[in-house]
Amino acid sequence: MAEPRATGSGRAMHALLRELYPICRSITGDGVRQTLHVLERHLPPGLQVHEVASGTPVFDWAVPAEWNIRDAYIADRQGRRVVDFREHSLHVVSYSTPVHRWVSRAELEEHLHSLPEQPDLIPYRTSYYNPTWGFCLAHNQRQQLLDDEYEVCIDSTLDANGSLTYGQLVLHGESEEEVLFSCHICHPSLANDNLASLVVAAELAQWLAARPRRRYTYRFVFVPVTVGAITWLHEHQHTAVPRIRHGLVLSLLGGPGNFTYKSSRQAQTTIDRAVAVALRDADLGGFEQRAFSPYGYDERQYCSPGFNLPVGCLTRTPFGEFPEYHTSADNPDFVQPRQLKESWRVLRRVCQVLEHNYAYQNLSPFGEPQLGRRGLYKHLGGGLDGQQWQMALLWVLNQSDGQHTLLDVAERSGLEFRLLNKAARALRQVGLLTKA
């Protein structure tokens, strides 16, 4: 059997991000399929690609017509492309209807989008459910369009007989209870939003696949934002959905800011607490916890009242709170390998908390058992390491009444979860502890 490859390489994740960056993605179309095809080479075996026909009712929505684009430009009288989709996929408003004609400068202005306050950047705009066409460009570039008329061409299609594409990977564990990781896969050339999370999720899946045993089954879902998550929920409402015990929406995991965690609608579920402990233990310079709100990414779909799943959202700096957000400045240079690796490490810690969060029963509960004669004390001359190890043993013994889990102990003691889990293993080995 081949040795599993090493995981957690920030450079490898960044290289994959650069490979995915040029692809023009939207909520449907070949860009999503191409992205899943590339991801499949970097995931454990078993990625399933699903196609749901346009027009399919999914709760209060319907799967939209499939959008694809081949080319787009604005050209002057000399045939020079002054705005060229081939240079950057953000130049076209996503889901633009096809157009090819000459327009006046005044009419063109009605279909242009730029950022006067960030004049060198191209904005990201969409028209998913409001049929129109448009171009996005740097404001400085826009101010140079002085001719009386221009040729506009958007060579796109909207196919009512198309489909919506999503992917999912299931890593089976000892239990059918599931942990869900969900990423949106519909943004074009934006590196932090959300390519960073796709590559971190792929790396996390490889790490989980290499584990000899998994307590939970892990499901990775790659869906177009909003309608994709709603479609997935509709298709799995009677199968996978009832098995979900913990879940995270992953987004914006490659930027430079500190981590931010938005809790599930239920709040204080195991996943909410596990993420808080994992971030605390990672000691990366602080993090922020925010209460649930019904606005944001697909956590609002998973947490809608009909489902009310225990699904939170993990990001670094949240959407709309960094100047590069939804602009051409969100490029591969904005995302650093170190930040990708940090995000992977945090998620690895979250999984470790979920995997090892058991309640235990102290088998010698009348007073403290004698630990020294069982070889559990390290003779380190009173150093901090020895003191923390002693405290971990004592905390685990004291709280192991069959009711408290290791996560409870980690929260109450302030000690690192990994240390408490190590202490629990040591106490089990000498017959002082058993799983409740």
- Radius of gyration of the chain, Cα coordinates, nearest whole angstrom: 25
> What does the chain come to in residues?
436
Closest CA to 362 of 396, 411, 314: 396
Q: Identify the pLDDT of residue 382.
A: 43
> What residue ranges do the domains of the chain occupy?
10-64+163-356, 66-159, 359-435
pLDDT in tens, 111-136: 999 999 999 999 999 999 999 999 99
Residues 6+ apart with CB under 8 A from 93: 111, 113, 125, 126, 127, 132, 133, 134, 135, 136
CATH for 66-159, options being 1.10.3720.10, 2.60.40.10, 3.90.470.20, 3.50.30.90: 3.50.30.90
Domain 359-435 has CATH 1.10.10.10: yes
In the predicted model, residues of the chain with pLDDT beneath 50 are 1-4, 379-384
Answer yes or no: is 193 a known binding residue. yes
Which pLDDT tens digit goes with each residue over 185-213? 999 999 999 999 999 999 999 999 999 99
Q: Are residues 360 and 434 in contact, defined by beta-carbon separation less than 8 angstroms?
A: yes
The 3-state secondary structure of the chain, one letter per residue: CCCCCCCCCHHHHHHHHHHHCCCCCCCCCHHHHHHHHHHHCCCCCCCEEEEEECCCEECCEECCCEEEEEEEEEECCCCCEEEECCCCHHHECECCCCEEEEEEHHHHHCCEECCCCCCCCCECCECCCCCCCCEECCHHHHCCCCCCEEEEEEEEEEECCCEEEEEEEEECCCCCCEEEEEEECCCCCCHHHHHHHHHHHHHHHHHHHCCCCCCCEEEEEEECCCHHHHHHHHHHCCCCHHHEEEEEEECCCCCCCCEEEECCCCCCCHHHHHHHHHHHHHCCCCEEEECCCCCCCCHHHHCCCCCCCCEEEEECCCCCCCCCCCECCCCCCCCCHHHHHHHHHHHHHHHHHHHHCCEEEECCCCCCCCCHHHCCCCCCCCCHHHHHHHHHHHHHHHHCEEEEEHHHHHHHHCCCHHHHHHHHHHHHHCCCEEEC
Query: Measuring CA to CA, how many Å separate 382 from each of 198, 368, 379, 393?
Result: 46, 20, 8, 15
Token digits for 352? 């470790």
Please report, for residues 2, 9, 23, 46, the alpha-carbon distance to residue 5 in angstroms, rounded to integers and kept in the order given.
9, 11, 27, 17
100 among annotated binding-site residues: no
Which class for 320: exposed (0-12), middle (13-18), buried (19 or more C-beta within 10 A)? exposed
pLDDT value for 385: 64
Report whether the peptide linkage leading into residue 194 is cis, meaning its omega lies within 30 degrees of zero: yes
Confidence at residue 377, expressed as pLDDT on a 0 to 100 scale? 78
Say whether 187 counts as a known binding-site residue: yes
Tokens, residue 327 = 């602009």
Q: Tell me: the pLDDT tens digits for 325-347?
A: 999 999 999 999 999 999 999 99
In this prediction the pTM is 0.96
The two three-digit tokens of residue 127, written as one number: 């028209």
CATH class in words for 10-64+163-356: alpha beta
Residue with the two structure tokens 């670094």: 316
Predicted confidence (pLDDT) per residue in 78-92, tens digit = 999 999 999 999 999
Cα separation, 198 vs 29, in Å, equals 18
